[in-house]
Amino acid sequence: MTFSGKLQKFNQVQQTSDLKHLPMVTQRSARAFTFTQTVRCCNKGTIIAKQKETGMPATVPVSEIVQSVPELEEEQPTKITGLGTIPEWLEGTILRNGVGQWDLGGETVCHWFDGHAFIHKFEIKNGSGTRDIIVVSRKQIVSDKRLFNDNCNVNLMPIGDKVFAMTETTAIREVDLKTLETGERLAYNDYMTIHTATAHPHILPGGEFLNMGSSFGKETCYNVIQVDSTGDFDKMKVVAKFPATNPKCPSYYHSFGLTRDHILFLEMPYRINMLKMLTRKFTNAAPAEAMFYDKQVHSSIRIADLKTGDILPIKINTEGMGSFHFGNSYEIEVDGGIFCVWDACPNYKAQGAAHLFNIETLRSRSAADIDEAFKEAGENELARFVFPIKLPRDATVGEDLNKRLAGKLQTTASAVLKEDGSVWLEKELLIDNSDEKIGFYGFEFPRYNYALNGLPYSYLYGNGFGTILPDRIIKVNVNTKDMKVWQEKDIFPSEPVFVQNKSVTDPSAPGEEDNGVILSICVSTKKDVPAFLIILDAKTLTELARCTTTVTGLPYGFHHTFLPSDF
């Protein structure tokens, strides 16, 4: 089966996390686990009731899960318990990437996101019987904290028929799905001039890999790059270039949006001071010290034609915000114009709150002190932006152009045409968190049925943050705003990954979009609570099964990727 066929079949490889910098490990040590499933249903953990408003985050001892993972020299099999019934159709591997080593050669890195990669997996076979989980920790290279480096600790994504660990530099490393061994360093800038790249690419319907990366210089640009469906890097090409509005202080970005016809890029006030970045090797400054939030600029949505690479002339602005991750985006035609719906996770207070994740601080302060410090990070919202890609022929100054969507889209988001020809946006909130039902810090890590990427959709999954760590899984109907929540005391789930039921042939058909399961690897700060994989019914967030390891103290990792068994 071709990769694009696998993608369409499982609809699972998707974008979704953070400033990661240091060198990837090259040697391997691992723990291997096998278990047999016990057929016993258990539906604990599902919560649909509202949470009482507190006005304060819950405290959590973060220090317990920012400790370096001990390195093991060989695979050590042990037993895993399975609780509940795993659907027979569910076969494949869920991989998680994140940081697992902060202490290197007698030194400790400065920032949570600067540690070395820790990759592990759950492999599900045959729907019943044997299941395998392999947790891999890797020996570390002594890090250089002064430079952007290539520790690929953010995400894992396929390119062609191979899987690569990724970060926000240009470096990627192939990962062996069986052993989790990593290959030699490969870099986008071996094939073209770019200096950064996101760890949240998109996969086109034909299997092509699409990503963004910046090239710095006199003409700084945000480049859209493409690798063909075979994964041939020699054929890598730039398909679009967004010139930076301020080449000396270009925007930081973590991911981007994609409809079936257009590329969406958010140029944020979160900026990189290029002079400071280039002189860090002399000042021994961390990368975050070269980044700042410019309160004087707005956020701008910039659009490129996916087929031609042309940058559309329309100017779209909104209030300054930071948004690391995005939900789906799609287009609607009306009155000779083309409108776009784009769901996002904006934060209007954090202003680059990554500086709060200092390892020394997280390890040394009390849980209450950490939560007090993190209050300045504010709340991540789940919001919808609706705007014209192509203006209607008879658009008038002062008009809320979104009113023309009546009968096609119900939204309170506005898009007002200004005298200078630009369009000013106001968001629509998709979650009312006034009672903190999704947690003090709001919503993040949005995922959806990727078979509908670039098409109208209804359901978005993500994490709620009652603490500085995600402590619940959320499902939102983005059209009705109905919501479901799964939560369990002292448990911290990673981003929820949707896996579509194999029986689905048309995910846009009634009742089929959420016909599948949600997978998430969960950890705890409690020393006696082991890590486990949770499997939820994607319609109800009812627990179907969990696979519990004997491993405690597993570091928290943000991002998952699910790959089918025939990948």
All residues at 6 or more sequence positions from 343 whose CB lies less than 8 Å from its CB, including other chains: 326, 327, 328, 329, 382, 383, 384, 385, 430, 446, 460, 478
pLDDT > 90 fraction of the chain, expressed in percent and rounded: 50
Positive or negative CA dihedral for 370, 375, 376, 381?
positive
Positive or negative CA dihedral for 73, 79, 82, 88?
positive
pLDDT digits (tens, 9 = 90+) for 424-439: 999 999 998 888 888 8
Give yes or no for residue 7 having a pLDDT over 50.
no
- Distance, CA of 143 to CA of 205 (rounded, Å): 39
Give yes or no for residue 226 having a pLDDT over 70.
yes
pLDDT score, position 131: 47
- Distance, CA of 562 to CA of 99 (rounded, Å): 19
pLDDT digits (tens, 9 = 90+) for 338-374: 999 999 999 987 655 566 677 777 787 776 777 676 7
**Known binding-site positions:** 200, 254, 325, 559
**Known binding-site positions for Fe cation:** 200, 254, 325, 559
Q: Which has more confidence, 72 or 499?
A: 499
Tell me how far CA of residue 374 lies from CA of 57, 316, 353, 356, in angstroms: 9, 31, 8, 7
Give yes or no for residue 490 having a pLDDT over 70.
yes
What is the CATH number assigned to the segment(s) 62-564?
Answer: 2.130.10
pLDDT score, position 133: 43
Q: How far is CA 163 from the centre of its chain?
A: 17
Other CB atoms within a 10 A radius of the CB of residue 142 amount to: 10
Give yes or no for residue 266 having a pLDDT over 60.
yes
Mean pLDDT value of segment 388-407: 94
- Distance, CA of 329 to CA of 453 (rounded, Å): 7
Give yes or no for residue 145 having a pLDDT over 50.
no
Tell me how far CA of residue 169 lies from CA of 118, 196, 199, 347, in angstroms: 17, 4, 9, 24
What's the pLDDT band for 149 if we cut at 50, 70, 90? low
How many residues appear in the chain? Answer: 567
Any bridge partners for residue 329, and if so which? 342
- The answer to whether 7 touches 203, Cβ cutoff 8 Å, is yes
The burial of 162, by beta-carbon neighbours within 10 Å (0-12 exposed, 13-18 middle, 19 or more buried), is given as middle
- Indicate yes or no: pTM above 0.75: yes
pLDDT digits (tens, 9 = 90+) for 102-138: 787 777 777 777 777 888 888 887 644 444 444 443 3
Cross-sheet strand order for the sheet of 171-175: 155-159, 162-166, 171-175, 182-187
pLDDT digits (tens, 9 = 90+) for 269-296: 999 988 888 887 677 666 777 888 898 8
What's the pLDDT band for 79 if we cut at 50, 70, 90? very low
Residue 400 is given by DSSP the state B
